[in-house]
């Protein structure tokens, strides 16, 4: 079974920063200017089988995050189609949807509701989320007192508590300390054993080789190579100058 | 979005409303009292100005109550419309990172203003009783007109929040509009002194219509005219239909403009 299918996907964004005011809109209307667009993904096709873990690698700005956003259903492709089967849970940015003035516990409930958990499910899983995060008594403190590592621990704990069919992760797990990093990898391994699909964007060669069966290498929105993780990684390493 | 979100809407709304409420009150020492102080102060000032300075009251009842019947609908409109308009941009983090149905955001923002609204309605009812007016069978129309009104504001918030993503000045236009509206809604003057040729237009202003209906019910102790309620029903349906239409049309492009 195919869990994720990208079929000739092109996604572009317009350069519009700072041009969101009424006068800009009117000027556009009068002059009929077409803003230059920037193609984040160019004709990208790939498939992920159910139960597979696939890494997306490539330099900054190569389109990794765009792929994750399309897979999560946050953005739509301009051309082509994206299909994802099953419940998706995404961990894209530290504490998206967390509010600094609310306590950890309050944020957990809001986030659980946003991710589609019901009241009963949230109550049932609350203890587990707090335990997994290892936040302890800080759970009743406002989130603005949390370190970035603590925020990430809680975000990861909520994301995995949803019990998704497809987990989408954007290289955030690098923020935690060694112990939590190991805990996250262990959790993802248990997802793998449970036959769930994982799509992971990362810069960590080690994580890809240890964890993923296949990899997709992107550069400037193009797929450079895709296939078995160690083969793609070997080619990728050969193309980038070795870092010290 | 694309039907990928299958969650518990009730639980979600409850959490988003509670979140807004907590954030707003956590940093206020007087907490919920603020919801009462603003209308009470305004009521006092307007009562002083229009029963002492301009001494021309055609209120047909206690002037403070008369003013409050105007202030409560207006206050709700002004704050719910504004926070609703900015809601999508203010919640950029959610829009960009959580695939929750976008419609939820402006509607939750309007509904969290309903918490204040309920407090202010309670104040209005207490004041009505304090002035010696008694509840009657016409009171059952209060929830009807108020619910129609909230639906009307939800529709406006949906449309305006979507437009505000693409034209960020929308919020300033809404602010100016609210300022003008204060004078165009009969808050401190009576419908009776409005020249005949403008009365029709006033009736089609849903904020004015609710002021009129509230005074009918609480002060004149009659049920609002059928034509008035038909107007409110039409305003609610039209605003909701247009709001949803605009929102659906613009929603697919939120992501790249936020």
What pLDDT does B57 receive?
58
Q: Which residue among A14, A75, A117 sits closest to B255, beta carbon to beta carbon?
A: A75
A118–B14 CB contact, under 8 Å: no
CA distance B213 to B211: 6
Tokens of A69: 């956003």
Which region holds residue A73: left if phi is over 0, alpha if psi is between -120 and 50, else beta?
Answer: left
Say which CATH number the domain at A83 has.
3.40.50.300
DSSP string, chain B: -TT-----HHHHHHHHHHHHHHHHHHT-TTGGGHHHHHHHHHHHHHHHIIIIIS-----SS-HHHHHHHHHHHHHHHHHHHHHHHHHHHHTHHHHHH----TTHHHHHHHHHHHHHHHHHHHHHHHHHHHTT----GGGGHHHHHHHHHHHHHHHHHHHHHHHHHH-TTHHHHHHHHHHHHHHHS-SSS-GGGS-HHHHHHHHT-HHHHHHHHHHHHHTS-SPPPHHHHHHHHHHHHHHHHHHHHHHHHHGGGHHHH-
Comparison of pLDDT for A25 and B85, the residue scoring more: B85
Confidence of residue A75 (pLDDT cuts 50, 70, 90): confident
Comparison of pLDDT for B3 and B61, the residue scoring more: B61
- Report whether pLDDT(B2) > 50: no
* Domain membership flag for residue A170: yes
Confidence of residue B1 (pLDDT cuts 50, 70, 90): very low
Q: Which residue among B8, B94, B99 sits closest to A119, beta carbon to beta carbon?
A: B8
| Residues A14, A43 within the same domain | yes
B7 and A CB contact within 8 Å: yes
Confidence of residue A171 (pLDDT cuts 50, 70, 90): confident
What pLDDT does A174 receive?
66
Mean pLDDT of B97-104: 89
Task: Answer with the one of A132, A162, A192 that is the final residue of a domain.
Answer: A162
* Domain membership flag for residue A93: no
Confidence of residue A244 (pLDDT cuts 50, 70, 90): very low
Confidence of residue A17 (pLDDT cuts 50, 70, 90): low
B5–A97 CB contact, under 8 Å: no
- ipTM surpassing 0.85: no
CA B7 to chain centre: 28
Comparison of pLDDT for A116 and A240, the residue scoring more: A116
* Domain membership flag for residue A244: no
CA distance A204 to A183: 17
B200 and A CB contact within 8 Å: no
Quick: pLDDT tens for B69-79.
999 999 999 99
| Residues A77, A105 within the same domain | no
| Residues A18, A76 within the same domain | yes
| Residues A13, A83 within the same domain | yes
B3 and A CB contact within 8 Å: no
Q: Distance from first CA to last CA of chain B, Å, rounded?
A: 16
Mean pLDDT of B185-190: 87
| Residues A125, A217 within the same domain | no
| Domain span at A215 | 2-87+164-239
Comparison of pLDDT for B75 and B50, the residue scoring more: B75
Give the residue among A212, A103, A108 at the shortest CA–CA distance from A159.
A108
CA distance A113 to A120: 11
Q: If contacts are CB pairs under 8 Å, which of residues 167-186 in chain B contact chain A?
A: 167-169
Q: Which residue among A87, A93, A118 sits closest to B11, beta carbon to beta carbon?
A: A118
A117–B1 CB contact, under 8 Å: no
| Residues A83, A170 within the same domain | yes
| Residues A170, A234 within the same domain | yes
What pLDDT does A125 receive?
94
B242 and A CB contact within 8 Å: no
B99–A88 CB contact, under 8 Å: yes
CA A117 to chain centre: 19
Question: Residue A150 is inside which H or E element, if any?
Answer: helix A148-161
* Domain membership flag for residue A193: yes
Q: Closest approach of chain A CAs to the CA of B172, in angstroms?
A: 11
What pLDDT does A175 receive?
66
| Residue numbers in A near B98 (CB within 8 A) | 74, 90, 96-97, 114-115
Confidence of residue B56 (pLDDT cuts 50, 70, 90): low
Quick: pLDDT tens for B189-223.
888 888 888 887 887 889 999 999 999 999 999 99
The mean predicted confidence, pLDDT, of chain B is: 89
A92 and B CB contact within 8 Å: yes
| Residues A128, A146 within the same domain | yes
Give me the percent of chain B exceeding a pLDDT of 70. Answer: 95
For the entire predicted model, the pTM comes to 0.87
Confidence of residue A177 (pLDDT cuts 50, 70, 90): confident
| Residue A30 neighbours by CB distance under 10 Å | 8
Mean pLDDT of A171-177: 70
- Report whether pLDDT(A9) > 90: yes
A101–B167 CB contact, under 8 Å: no
| Residues A82, A7 within the same domain | yes
- Report whether pLDDT(A32) > 70: no
Residue A56 has φ and ψ, to the nearest 5°, of -115, 120
What are the start-end ranges of the E strands in A110-156?
A: none
| Residues A26, A51 within the same domain | yes
| Residue numbers in A near B97 (CB within 8 A) | 74, 90, 92-93, 96-97
Mean pLDDT of B167-190: 91
Total number of domains in chain A: 2
| Residues A52, A66 within the same domain | yes
């Amino acid at each position: 079974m195919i869990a994720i299918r990208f079929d000739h996907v092109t996604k572009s964004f317009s350069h519009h920063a700072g041009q969101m005011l009424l006068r800009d809109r009117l000027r556009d209307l009068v002059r009929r200017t077409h803003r230059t667009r920037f193609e984040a993904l160019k004709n990208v096709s790939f498939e992920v089988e159910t139960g597979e873990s696939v890494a997306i690698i490539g330099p900054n700005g190569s389109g990794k995050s765009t792929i994750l956003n399309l897979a999560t259903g946050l953005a739509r492709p301009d051309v082509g189609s994206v299909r994802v089967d099953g419940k998706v849970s995404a961990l894209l940015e530290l504490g998206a949807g967390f509010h600094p003035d609310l306590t950890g516990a309050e944020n957990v409930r809001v986030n659980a509701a946003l991710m589609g958990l019901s009241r009963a499910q949230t109550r049932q899983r609350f203890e587990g989320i707090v335990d997994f995060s290892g936040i302890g008594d800080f759970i009743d403190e406002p989130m603005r007192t949390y370190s970035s590592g603590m925020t990430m621990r809680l975000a990861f704990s909520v994301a995995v508590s949803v019990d998704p069919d497809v987990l989408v992760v954007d290289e955030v797990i690098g923020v935690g300390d060694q112990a939590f990093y190991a805990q996250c990898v262990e959790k993802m391994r248990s997802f793998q054993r449970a036959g769930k699909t994982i799509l992971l964007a990362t810069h960590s060669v080690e994580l890809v080789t240890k964890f993923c069966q296949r990899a997709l290498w992107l550069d400037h929105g193009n797929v450079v190579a895709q296939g078995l993780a160690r083969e793609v990684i070997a080619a990728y390493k050969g193309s980038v100058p070795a870092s010290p | 979005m694309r039907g990928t979100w299958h969650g518990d809407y009730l639980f979600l709304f409850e959490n988003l409303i509670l979140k807004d409420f907590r954030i707003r009150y956590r940093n206020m020492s007087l907490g919920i009292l603020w919801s009462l102080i603003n209308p009470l102060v305004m009521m006092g000032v307007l009562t002083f100005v229009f029963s002492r300075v301009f001494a021309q009251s055609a209120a047909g009842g206690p002037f403070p109550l008369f003013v409050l019947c105007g202030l409560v609908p207006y206050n709700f409109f002004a704050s719910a419309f504004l926070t609703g308009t900015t809601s999508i941009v203010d919640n950029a983090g959610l829009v960009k990172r959580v695939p929750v149905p976008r419609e939820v955001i402006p509607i939750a923002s309007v509904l969290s203003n309903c918490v204040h609204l309920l407090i202010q309605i309670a104040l209005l009812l207490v004041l009505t009783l304090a002035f010696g007016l008694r509840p009657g069978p016409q009171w059952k129309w209060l929830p009807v007109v108020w619910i129609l009104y909230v639906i009307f504001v939800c529709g406006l918030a949906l449309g305006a929040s979507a437009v505000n993503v693409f034209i960020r000045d929308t919020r300033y236009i809404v602010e100016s509009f609210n300022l003008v509206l204060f004078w165009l809604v009969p808050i401190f003057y009576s419908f009776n002194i409005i020249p005949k040729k403008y009365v029709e237009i006033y009736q089609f202003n849903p904020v004015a219509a609710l002021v009129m209906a509230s005074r009918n019910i609480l002060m004149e102790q009659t049920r609002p005219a059928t034509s008035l309620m038909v107007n409110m029903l039409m305003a609610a349906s039209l605003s909701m239909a247009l709001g949803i239409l605009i929102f659906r049309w613009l929603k697919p492009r939120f992501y790249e403009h936020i």
